[in-house]
């Protein structure tokens, strides 16, 4: 059943990143940093037909994805974005979210796999870019926006008020995340995640993979570093070539949402709420999985 002490530890673990990210986003907006960085967002936002609010979230996502999505939720609740625009703008953040992982992913990948690790990270970025472009084009078809990338400072009311709003937003995210974490822990205690994990592993065994590739894929489901370590050992032993190892890691990452579900579901529910969070998670995860599988079979 639910362990209150463990639940409290998880919420306390989330608190620094949620509060820090919210304060960072408020600081960047109040200081006009996002305006200076708006050329980064211009091609994507112009393609999407969305307005400056989407540009603000897109740029913020390079610094902190949770804060970018929380910003979109705030703009939606203020009536500055429709629900459809909020969905599309959030799904467009896939590329900056992928770039944001460079500091945690690249060092172990390069250390373990060298150039093959760099290739895997390039594929990781390519999937994020493809998802961003896909939803930008979809937005162009579904949303009649201005396509302008003008000033992206939102909110207003001075620095102190901005910080207060950011703190209130962070507290609400933490409270909703705590409720979602409790539900997830209850599901885990009932063994639901273990059953789902076993089904996915059985499904992966149906792919035309060697035993070595399957081992790398399963390890990558758990963690990209675990997959890279397994791949490096097999490459060094001459049992697997680099490209097959990269493809096996990509296949594992396509199904990594199963092992990450305990973390990503509370994240989406915490930021977007119990109505929009699960749906956005399902859309993002499904599209990402489909894009990776397409890349693997090219």
Over range 157-175, report the average pLDDT: 67
Over range 121-125, report the average pLDDT: 95
Determine how many CB atoms are found less than 10 A away from the CB of residue 43.
Answer: 12
Each residue's pLDDT tens digit, 82-109: 899 999 999 999 999 999 888 888 888 9
Determine how many CB atoms are found less than 10 A away from the CB of residue 284.
Answer: 21
Each residue's pLDDT tens digit, 2-12: 566 665 666 66
- Taking the C-alpha atoms of residue 174 and residue 66, their distance in angstroms, rounded to an integer, is 12
How many domains does the chain contain in total? 1
Query: What is the domain range of residue 190?
Result: 4-297
Over range 44-69, report the average pLDDT: 82
Position 274 scores a pLDDT of 86
Position 78 scores a pLDDT of 78
Each residue's pLDDT tens digit, 222-270: 788 888 999 999 998 888 899 999 999 999 898 888 877 777 888 888 8
Position 150 scores a pLDDT of 42
Position 44 scores a pLDDT of 81
């Amino acid at each position: 059943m639910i362990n209150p002490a463990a639940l409290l530890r998880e919420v306390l673990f989330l608190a620094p990143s949620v509060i820090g990210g919210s304060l960072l986003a408020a600081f960047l907006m109040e200081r006009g940093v996002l305006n200076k960085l708006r050329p980064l967002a211009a091609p994507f936002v112009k393609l999407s037909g969305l307005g400056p609010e989407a540009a603000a979230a897109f740029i913020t996502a390079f610094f902190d994805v949770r804060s970018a999505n929380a910003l979109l939720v705030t703009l939606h609740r203020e009536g500055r974005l429709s629900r459809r625009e909020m969905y599309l703008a959030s799904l467009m953040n896939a590329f900056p979210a992928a770039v944001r992982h460079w500091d945690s992913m690249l060092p172990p990948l390069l250390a373990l796999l060298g150039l093959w690790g760099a290739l895997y990270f390039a594929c990781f970025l390519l999937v994020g870019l493809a998802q961003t472009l896909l939803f930008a084009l979809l937005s162009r078809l579904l949303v009649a926006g201005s396509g302008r990338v003008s000033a992206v400072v939102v909110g207003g009311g001075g620095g102190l008020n901005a910080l207060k709003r950011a703190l209130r937003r962070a507290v609400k995210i933490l409270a909703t995340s705590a409720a979602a974490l409790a539900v997830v822990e209850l599901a885990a205690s009932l063994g639901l995640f273990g059953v789902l994990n076993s089904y996915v592993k059985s499904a992966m065994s149906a792919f035309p993979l060697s035993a070595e590739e399957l081992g790398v894929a399963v390890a990558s489901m758990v963690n990209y570093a675990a997959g890279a370590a397994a791949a490096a050992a097999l490459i060094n032993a001459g049992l697997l070539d680099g490209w097959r190892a990269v493809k096996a890691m990509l296949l594992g990452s396509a199904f990594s949402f199963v092992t990450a579900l305990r973390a990503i579901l509370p994240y989406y529910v915490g930021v977007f709420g119990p109505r929009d969070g699960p749906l956005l998670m399902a859309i993002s995860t499904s599209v990402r999985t489909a894009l990776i599988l397409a890349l693997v079979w090219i």
